[in-house]
Chain A
Amino acid sequence: DAGVTQSPTHLIKTRGQQVTLRCSPKSGHDTVSWYQQALGQGPQFIFQYYEEEERQRGNFPDRFSGHQFPNYSSELNVNALLLGDSALYLCASTTFGANYGYTFGSGTRLTVV
């Protein structure tokens, strides 16, 4: 049973560039959330997607945008990268309306130089 798959695992970008991170949810899940985890911190909620629409958003600027595809996979896009965007980006999936918690991927480590 495939869990949550994220790609790439590591990425180095230059300040001002744009980046796209990808996530495939666990089989049977239809809802995807993205989290940013800075070094030494707990994950911070970015946004959640269901039925290809953004359902909830955290306190992140518009430079952070996302997309969900008909097969439930998702992308996180970050424009005009700042040094402070360096972090581990985690994708989590669940079934809409379920309360049993989320399944997380292993994340993408983004370094902005």
Chain B
Amino acid sequence: AQTVTQSQPEMSVQEAETVTLSCTYDTSESDYYLFWYKQPPSRQMILVIRQEAYKQQNATENRFSVNFQKAAKSFSLKISDSQLGDAAMYFCAYRSANFGNEKLTFGTGTRLTIIP
């Protein structure tokens, strides 16, 4: 079974600065997808960024980028130019690429606080 570990329960960053959230995972599969989701107080999980394991290039979405290290099974999220609206819980998630096994496995989350 796959597991996802987020070792930082809480992080804080000054507005406009850069912060990196860590995530490691364990799997015996070679093809899979990794995601970062944001959960603000509204409770809705919002997809921030996704990475396909077979792609070596790190995904980027505006101020959000990832550092995907497949051999190390590491998938960190970097937020540049932090904004007050970035404050939320951030969850790392894993999904197998195998047909019939499309469930998401989540980590325990990191609470990000933005300091004005």
A interface vs B, CB < 8 Å? 31, 33, 35, 40-45, 48, 55-56, 58, 88, 90, 92, 94, 97, 99-107, 109
List residues of chain B with CB under 8 Å of any chain A CB. Answer: 4, 33, 35, 37, 42-47, 50, 52, 91, 93, 95, 97, 99-109
Which of chain B's residues have a CB closer than 8 A to the CB of A105? 44
Is the Cβ of B100 less than 8 Å from the Cβ of A104? no
Q: Please state if A56 and B107 are interface contacts (CB–CB under 8 Å).
A: no
Question: Do A107 and B44 touch (CB < 8 A)?
Answer: yes
> Which residues in A have their C-beta under 8 angstroms from that of B42?
106
Which chain A residues border B106 with CB–CB below 8 Å? 42-44
Q: Are B105 and A56 interface neighbours, CB within 8 A?
A: no
Q: Which of B45, B47, B50, B103 contacts A58 (CB 8 A)?
A: B103
Shortest beta-carbon distance from B94 to chain A in Å: 11
Contact A101 to B47, CB < 8 A, known contacts A41-B108, A42-B109, A106-B42 = yes
The answer to whether B103 and A48 have CB atoms under 8 Å apart is yes
| Least CB distance, A33 to chain B, in whole angstroms | 7
